[in-house]
Structure 1
Amino acid sequence: MFFVKTENVRSSRKIIVRTFAKLFAMIFLVLVVVTTSTVAYRLILNRQHDVVGLAQKMATSDIDSAIDWDTWRENSIVDLRDVYMTAKLNANKQTLYSDRTAKTVATKDVKIKLLDQYYWVHERGLYYRYTVSVKNGRLIVMIGMSSVFKTLKTMLLVMLLTTFALYMLAVFFIRHLADKISAPLVNFTQAVGQVTLNESIETQLPEVNEPAEVNALRETSVLWLMSLQDQVIREKEFIANASHELKTPLTAFRGNLALIKRRGQDHPEVVPRALELLDQEAERMQGLVSQLLLISQAERQSMKIGSAQPLVEIFDQFLQVAKAETNRQIEIQRMPAGKVITDKINAVHILKIIFENALKYSEAQERVILRLGFDYIEIVDFGLGIPLEDRSKVFERFFRGDRAHSSKINGTGLGLALAAELAAKSQMKISFSDNQSRGTIARIDFLDEQ
């Protein structure tokens, strides 16, 4: 069973909700700001147009008494609330106000100029000032913007309430959508956390058709877990086989030691033979442990394949090793060879392992053929051969065919497993086929230079 530590790690659901919540909050905020700014601008423009239109209309009227102001108020079609006028006459240098408030607003002491034609009047707010020439002087119109701000305040309040309601509704749907999107991944993650390698992987993981990413993740996870399951099974078999292989020499050790203890003094003639057997078993155990260490090292080793090199150089170096290995007849067959990409030391080691197997599983009088091709090397023997049903198993650790056991050939069953491990990391491929009419052809293919 697998467990995943998720402390302080945000889930995809939480990421989706937070991301879209921030996005919608930004969109709504921009919408409120833009809408309010646009409406405010239009309201202010309309207010200014009212002032200009009113001032231009008043420019054609004669304003020289309070009666004129009263007549103007009665006949005006414009909303005159918070609108104040001041008429400055040239003839008698008289200043007339539309009412008392107009005089207060026009006083310099209570107003501060903010922008061109905009003033802040103490205790009354923002005013727009417009001046126009009349027949006997000039007319100053002051119009307040309080109605504009009241309208904006009401509009802003309504927009904020509406936007907040829409935002909460959007968050609700975002959470619902996030749950729907993340549900397959959450369910799959929980299923993976409960997977056991003792049962079929395919049946333990739920089917996922969509979204496509989770479906791809499921397929990849199934393949990975099945590979892990196979590896665990192989490791268990390896431990069992290793225990069995180590148990045999240890049993022989104890048997021969017991024999020496029991009969060594009374029958000293048994001691040399017992010691010889002990030495053989010690040598066998030493070879087994060495092979196991080499396989373990090969599994951990990270190979760096160098540049391309002539295959003939690898073949010639291997040939020297082969001739030193045996006095048996070696037939050499050469064809033009190219350059290959591989690790030279590992290549020679692999060829040596396969060559030793060829010697081991064929009679001493039989020759061995070493054949160099363009991008391959073949080792041909005339021995027992490999049954078709065993060829898929020859690279398994401790595997030895029945004929190997029956002929009592020494070995650990780890040589080809080591060769396969090295070949996988050295751009090489090992295959076996029948040698007509007797024996085996072992072929080592190299990745040739492109």
Structure 2
Amino acid sequence: MRTNSQPRTYEDIIRHSVTSLLMTIGLIIVLTVSVTLTVDQLLRAQNQAQQLSTSLQTTQVSNFKDWLMVNKGSGLNSQNTFVLVKNAKGETTSLLPHTAALAKANTWSVPFTHLVYIKGWGLYFSETLKTSSQTYFLFIGMHVLVGNLHVLIAVLIIAIGLSLLIGLLYVRRLAKRLSAPTIALANAAQQAAATPELTQPELPQPQEPVEVAQLARDFNQLLTAQNGRLERERQFISDASHELRTPIATIRGNIKLIERRGDKHPEVIPESIGFIDQESLRMQHLIENLLHLSRADRATITLQPLDLAELITSVVNHYQPLISQPITLAVPDHPALALGNVDMLHQVLTALLDNAHKYSPADQPIQVTVTQRPGLVSLTVGDNGPGIPKAERAHVFERFYRVDASRSTKIEGNGLGLAIVSQLVKLNEGHITITDNQPHGALFTVTLKDAKEN
């Protein structure tokens, strides 16, 4: 049954990799040198065997004295070079007395080579030479090759062992140096995760390794975004609590007033009920706007081509009777096709008209314009109110934000309308900007994709 292995540390991974690498390199070196040395010795033995064969063919050695002369001329070591002679009758003799047992010893041939292993004698290079009357069996000893291989393998084993020892010590030091930034980053992340309700500090960002530095930068970007969301949630909760506290306090105050004075002063009851109705309606609008924001945050829509000029004309015609300010409408004569959602864009325009109505004087017009540019279709709603300072424009789409806090009780609203507009525009893959209107006031411009080119 297969079991899951334990997760490995930097040191384990590097040590295993370095050990495998050194062992592989050592094995390759041993094999390469051994094969090279063996081939070299075999070629030398083959060359010597050819020289000896030529001498044997010339001299027709048949006795020990002739063999000594031939062997001396070949330069071979007489202690490692032997010749067995087989005559025409099939009788085998040796030219050295102590090699008589050579013909009777068990032998094993190495495939694809002239090497044979003779039990009790060792490894030899074997060559057979046939003449008219005799057959010579040459055996050239490979004792030097075997000895050299033994020494070579012993030296390489010692060298590889020392390399592994030094390598493991180096790996331990290297692993600690490489893992230190990662461990510091992990510890900082654990501390941040332990207090998710607090604003998270930036994680330490090492200079190297580059991969860990990039990971730390990515984490810090994530933390920055998370901190921003956390701060917005805190502000949202604080603002929502503040907005709900006032109507609730008003409702409870009027209920207490009715309880205390309703029997003796019934005239206070209608007035108190009117305040309760007004504040409950305000709470209802606030809760509806919060629901709109919640749905917009989670909504996914499919954009479709629509005639923005036709949609805007319809909305303005229905909205004009509800307000005192005149609305001037400027749309192209031809269809202005944009990609969007009809219901959401209807809500966007209504919210912008509500905002312009609240901040514009009763006798000043509200301008609504639809324009086209290459690849884009724009909707602009302009008012002639007090305008919005440039420093405030980056915040007007935040939830519960009011430009003039001193006028927040005089002008209806809870600061959620433009936040909803911004979210709906994003869902329609557009963007909204604020500029100055002339001679005074603000222009809200919603830019959408042109359906013809998308």
TM-score, scaled to structure 2: 0.82
Q: Is the CA contact 1:378–1:442 (under 8 Å) kept in the aligned structure 2? A: yes
Whether contact under 8 Å (1:432, 1:441) holds in the other structure is yes
- Residue 4 of structure 1: aligned partner: none
For residues 310 and 15 of structure 2, the distance between their equivalents in structure 1, rounded to whole angstroms, comes to 64
* Number of positions where the alignment pairs a residue of Structure 1 with one of Structure 2: 439
Q: Could you tell me which amino acid in structure 1 is paired with residue 249 of structure 2?
A: T
Equivalent residue runs for 1:92-131 within 5 Å: 94-99=91-96, 102-107=99-104, 110-115=106-111, 117-131=114-128
Aligned counterpart, 2:129: 132
Against the structure 1 CA distance between its residues 387 and 72, is the aligned structure 2 distance closer, same or farther, given a 3 Å change threshold?
closer
Q: Which residue of 1 aligns with 2:76?
A: 78
Q: Secondary structure at the match of 2:270?
A: helix
| Distance of 2:215 and 2:314 partners within structure 1 | 47
**Structure 2 Cα separation of the partners of residues 19 and 112 of structure 1:** 40
Conservation of the 8 A alpha-carbon contact between 2:338 and 2:449: yes
Shift of 1:338: 4.8
* Unpaired runs of at least 5, structure 2: none
- How far 1:211 moved relative to its partner? 4.4
CA distance in 1, matches of 2:155, 2:191: 52
Q: Which residues of structure 1 form unaligned runs of 5+?
A: 1-6
1: distance between equivalents of 2:340 and 2:15? 52
The one-letter code of the counterpart of 1:236 is R
- Please identify, of 381-390 and 109-118, the stretch whose mean Cα deviation from structure 2 is larger: 109-118
- Sequence identity percentage: 27
Cα 1:57/1:23, change in 2 over 3 Å: same
Query: 1:311 and 1:125, CA in 2 relative to 1: closer, same or farther beyond 3 A?
Result: farther
Q: Identify if the C-alpha distance between structure 1 residues 13 and 363 changes in structure 2 by more than 3 Å, giving closer, same or farther.
A: farther
- Greater length-normalized contact order (CA 8 Å, ≥ 6 residues apart): 1
Q: Which moved more, 1:206-215 or 1:279-288?
A: 206-215
Report what 2:255 is aligned to: 257
Matched-pair contact (CA < 8 Å) for 1:32–1:160: no
2:283 corresponds to which letter in structure 1?
M
Q: State the partner residue of 1:3.
A: none
Q: In structure 2, what residue type is equivalent to 1:229?
A: N
Aligned counterparts of 1:220 and 1:314: Cα–Cα separation in 2 = 43
8 Å CA contact 1:337–1:373 kept in 2: the answer is: no
Q: Are positions 1:322 and 2:319 aligned together?
A: yes
The Cα of 1:414 is off from its aligned counterpart by: 0.9
Task: Summarize the alignment of residues 181-330 of structure 1 with structure 2, pairs less than 5 Å apart.
Answer: 181-194=178-191, 201=201, 205-206=203-204, 208-301=206-299, 303=300, 306=303, 309-316=306-313, 318-319=315-316, 322-323=319-320, 326=323, 329-330=326-327
Alpha-carbon distance in 2 for matches of 1:309, 1:26 = 69
Judge conservation of contact 1:433–1:442 (CA < 8 Å) in 2: yes
Matches within 5 A, 1:22-33: 22-33=20-31
Identify the match of residue 141 of structure 1 among 126, 138, 142: 138
Larger displacement relative to structure 2 (290-299 or 7-16): 7-16
Residues 161, 213 of structure 1: alpha-carbon distance in 2 compared, 3 angstrom cutoff: same
Match of 1:445 in 2: 447
Deviations along 1:155-203, whole A, 9 cap, x unmatched?
Answer: 11211211222233234334444444444444444445445896794xx
Residue pair 2:328, 2:367 contacting (<8 A) in 1 also:
yes
Aligned to 2:428: 426
Q: Contact 1:337–1:372 at 8 Å: present in 2 too?
A: no
Tell me how far 1:218 sits from its aligned partner.
4.2
Distance of 1:8 and 1:304 partners within structure 2: 46
Match of 2:410 among 398, 408, 411: 408
Deviation at 1:130, TM superposition (A): 1.0
Residue matched to 1:334: 331
Could you say what the CA RMSD is over the residues aligned between the two structures, in angstroms?
Answer: 3.4
CA distance in 2, matches of 1:97, 1:283: 127
Contact 2:328–2:365 (Cα < 8 Å) also in 1: yes
Q: Deviations over 1:77-132 (max 9, x none)?
A: 31233433111234x7653212355443334x733555364444344454432112
Name the CA distance, whole Å, in 2 between partners of 1:316 and 1:44: 101
CA distance in 1, matches of 2:342, 2:102: 101
Q: Could you say which residue in structure 2 is the equivalent of 1:398?
A: 400
Name whichever of 311-320 and 226-235 sits farther off: 311-320
Residue 371 (str. 1) matches residue 369 (str. 2): yes
1:47 to 2:49 alignment = no
1:319-351 residue CA offsets vs partner (Å, 9 max, x unmatched): 466357657532211136754344443333222
Whether the 8 Å contact between 1:395 and 1:420 is mirrored in structure 2 is yes
Query: What TM-score, normalized by structure 1, do the two folds share?
Result: 0.83
Superposed displacement of residue 373, structure 1: 0.8
Amino acid at match of 2:293: I
Deviations 1:19-48 (A, max 9, x none): 444334323322222222222222233233
Q: What corresponds to 2:62 in structure 1? A: 64
Paired letter, 1:378: T
